[in-house]
A and B are shown apart, each in its own frame.
Chain A
Amino acid sequence: MSYLIAAYAITLVALAGYARSLQRERARQVVSLQPTSGGDPANGGP
C-alpha cells in the first residue's frame, strides 16, 4: 500500500510542482513585459 501511495504522490506532486513553477515564470514575464506607466516625456513622464 505504501508503494502505491508513493507512486501516486510522487506523480501528482511532480506534475503540480512543474505547473506551479511554469505559472510563476509566466507571471514574472507578464509583469516584466508590461509597459512602464507615465512614459510620455511630453507630459512630464520619465
Chain B
Amino acid sequence: MVEVERTLVERVAGLRRPLGIAVCAVFVVYAWLVWQAPVDRVQGIIQKILYVHPPLAYGAYLGFVFAGVGGVGYLRSGREVWDHWALSGAEVGVLFCTLMMVTGPIWAKGTWGHWWSWDPRLTLTLLLWFVYLSYLLLRGFSEGGARTARFASVYAIAGTLLIPLNYFVIDLFQGRSLHPENLERGSLGAGMGWPFLVGNVAFFLAFVYLLLLRFEVEIGRGRVSRGSDEAVA
C-alpha cells in the first residue's frame, strides 16, 4: 500500500513540476493579452474583469464535479485515493468559488453601482459556495475514517446537482436575472476572444496544478500520520 502510494505521488509530482512552469508562462501571455484587450464602450475598463471572473467560475464547477466524481469512485471501490481526489477537488473548487465571489461583486460595483443583488444566479452561487465550504468544515472537524469518507462522498455527489442549476438559472428566469447571460460563441466583442480563451487555459492549468499539489499533500498527511502512529506504538 505504501509502495503504491509512493509511486502515485512520484507520478503526480512528475506531472506537476513541468506544469508549474507552463502555468507561469501562460500567465505571462495572459497578462499581456488582457493589457492589450480593447476597452468596452459601454462598461469601460471594468469590463476586463471578464477575463478573470468566468474562468474562476469554471474552475469552481470543475472542482465540485471532481469532488462528486471522487465521491462516486469512493462509494464504488472503497479506495481511499478516490476520497483524497474528492477532498482535493472540493478545496481547490472552494478557493476558485471564493475568488469568483470576490471578483463578481467588484465587477457589479463598477457596472451596477452596488456590490450585491439577490439575483437568482448570485444567490445560487452563494448557496453553492456554502455547500462546499460546509463540506470542508465537516471534514475538518471530523476524525476521518471510512464512515466520514462515505458521508462526504454522498454529500459531494448531492452538491453537484446545484451546478447545472447554477449555470442555467438565468435561462430559467428568462431575462429577469440581473446577471448577464451565459457566454455563447460570437457573444464577445472584437479582440476579446483571445484574452478570454487564454485566460481560461491559464486558470485551467492553475487549477490542475493546485489539484495535483493538494492531492500530494493529502497523501503525505496520511503517510505522516501513519508514521507517527507507528512511532507511538
Contact = CB atoms under 8 A, between A and B. Distances in A.
27 contacts: A1-B45, A3-B49, A3-B109, A4-B45, A4-B48, A4-B106, A7-B49, A7-B106, A7-B107, A10-B99, A11-B102, A12-B27, A14-B99, A15-B210, A18-B210, A19-B210, A19-B213, A22-B210, A22-B213, A22-B214, A25-B217, A26-B220, A29-B220, A29-B223, A32-B227, A33-B223, A33-B227
A14 B48 CA distance: 19
B210 A6 contact: no
Contacts of B103: 7, 10-11
Contacts of B223: 29, 33
Residue of A12, A26, A33 with most partner-chain B CB within 10 A:
A26
Residue of A1, A12, A15 with most partner-chain B CB within 10 A:
A15
Main secondary structure of the interface of B (DSSP, over half): helix
Contacts, number: 67
Interface of A: 1, 3-4, 6-8, 10-12, 14-15, 18-19, 22-23, 25-26, 29-30, 32-33
A18 B95 CA distance: 9
Size class of the B contact interface (CB-based, 8 Å): 20 to 34
Interface in B89-105: 95, 98-99, 102-103
